[in-house]
Structure 1
């Protein structure tokens, strides 16, 4: 598997990352261990998790694997904070990117993972109730104390990302010890190309690498939902149904048919075509994919040798055009 630099940093990650959103809940320790073995054997290094995944169980599971036969040095560990595990009355997660919350969450993540540092630590979601400088001060402190090597943002808009990159730059107000903005993690697929309007160009200009989560359109681009909702799928799961349903639309169906047609012409699967499109998009250093089983993961990793022909990429670009115009292009 190709190894890529994260933006203009010295951090290197695999072009496909292993997501762990379902670990500890839908994916048990045996299945997770098999997935990680398959991933590492294929040359993968980036393992993406978050404090909120399974209320911390995903990190605990990774930690148990690291305590066993998996060498910490073989992994590039990415975790996220800024969303609290407690919930409001209506069931929504609590966004909290305050200094205390972030650093407490980081310490808890490290304890669950059984390691003294992360390779990349991300703020998971914008917090309008906390000044950005306070959030970034926590990131600077985490790097300064050795709890993480690099820092970044997840799901932030371009203007905030640019502001954060300016504040985190060594020449910025935090001073020469500021760690810089290494990466942004955003949803990016043939069904979600909104980040191309401003976020991806901003990240590239600022020297931040792009980690693309859900590059398979929350599983819809695999084609599994073309005719029905499989009983074993995420869309049939009570706690994941709402995650998939936004892409079970007529527009999405048209995109899936285009991907399926392209795949048939190439003698590949729709999954491989959709993944290759994101993986090799400008600015992307890693496409983070979650799998239900090791068998599914092997299917994902089969796309490693696929390079989309320019005419195929051009057609898919046209079919899924996000409509970039004024003022992004004048």
Structure 2
């Protein structure tokens, strides 16, 4: 599998990252271990998790796997902080004390003394950016994080915190949703990241699973859309526009002799501003087409056709 650097930093990662949002909740230890083995065998290195995934269960499961047959030296770990659990649910909190307390808990669950990339999970409008940035600085200076960045930040906040950071330390990455079904970052976030030297991690590059084609005729009983706690995550992409894009993707994939899953992911990886794409699966078998996409090069005509059918409207001030 090819590797890419995050922006202007020295951090080099696999073009496909293994997402673990469902680990310990919908994906058990045996299934997770199978995925990790397949991922490493394909040349993957970067694992993506967060303190809030399964209330820490995802990190704990990763820690148990790293304590077994997988060496910590073989993987790069990206985790996130900034969502605090309360009795009423998750609350966005990127204050210095919460961020650092969360990082220490993450390291304990992961069974490691550092993470390779630590991200602010959400923009916190109630906490000054300088305070959040100070937490990132402490994490790097103490050796608990090698590189830092943000996640799900709007364009203006991405630019603001990256500019404020300067070199104390500079931000390496931003993780945002990006796929044929969600191209909103092309308006502001991607240009800001490119201008400021941040690499982009694309989460949900398969359109929350819709781009696999599994929902073309019905909702499978074992799918996320049929899940009580994940159906709301998938529903926004089960509309008419998404259906048109999925059908175009299916036609293109058939012509290429590839799966829609591989073609959709290859389209994301073909975008020059994307460093890596985070893919998740329930089993190792479901992961295989995504791993195959790392070596799939789409013909320019296919890229152009998919660009056209999924294009978003750009208006003032992005385009006049």
What TM-score bracket applies, with the shorter chain setting the length? over 0.9
1:232 is aligned to 222
Give 1:87 deviation, angstroms. 4.4
Give 1:191 deviation, angstroms. 0.3
1:105 aligns with 2:102: yes
Give 1:93 deviation, angstroms. 1.9
2:282 is aligned to 292
Give 1:263 deviation, angstroms. 0.5
Give 1:305 deviation, angstroms. 2.1
1:255 is aligned to 245
Gaps of 5+ in 1: 171-177
1:109-148 superposed matches below 5 A: 109-148=106-145
TM-score, length-normalised on structure 1? Answer: 0.96
List, as ranges, runs of 4+ consecutive aligned residues in structure 1 with deviation greater than 3 Å.
none
2:268 is aligned to 278
Tell me: CA distance 1:87–1:184, structure 2 relative to 1, closer, same or farther (3 Å): farther
Task: Give the aligned length.
Answer: 320
When the two chains are superposed, the root-mean-square deviation of aligned CA atoms in Å is 0.9
1:55 is aligned to 55
Conserved 8 A contact 1:3-1:13? yes
TM-score, length-normalised on structure 2? Answer: 0.98
1:312 aligns with 2:309: no
Conserved 8 A contact 1:80-1:121? yes
Give 1:195 deviation, angstroms. 0.2
SS at structure 1 position matched to 2:266? helix
Conserved 8 A contact 1:13-1:46? yes
Give 1:329 deviation, angstroms. 2.6
Give 1:129 deviation, angstroms. 1.0
One of 132, 142, 165 as aligned partner of 2:162: 165
1:73-88 superposed matches below 5 A: 73-88=73-88
Conserved 8 A contact 1:183-1:208? yes
One of 201, 204, 211 as aligned partner of 2:191: 201
Greater Cα offset, 110-119 or 300-309: 300-309
2:13 is aligned to 13
Partners of 1:14 and 1:161 in 2: CA distance: 23
Cα deviation per residue 1:153-183 (whole Å; 9 max; x = unaligned)?
000011111111111112xxxxxxx010100
Conserved 8 A contact 1:87-1:94? no
2:204 is aligned to 214
Give 1:86 deviation, angstroms. 2.1
Conserved 8 A contact 1:23-1:58? yes
Partners of 2:194 and 2:200 in 1: CA distance: 8
SS at structure 2 position matched to 1:128? coil
Gaps of 5+ in 2: none
SS at structure 1 position matched to 2:263? helix
Give 1:306 deviation, angstroms. 1.1
Give 1:304 deviation, angstroms. 2.3
Partners of 1:54 and 1:93 in 2: CA distance: 12
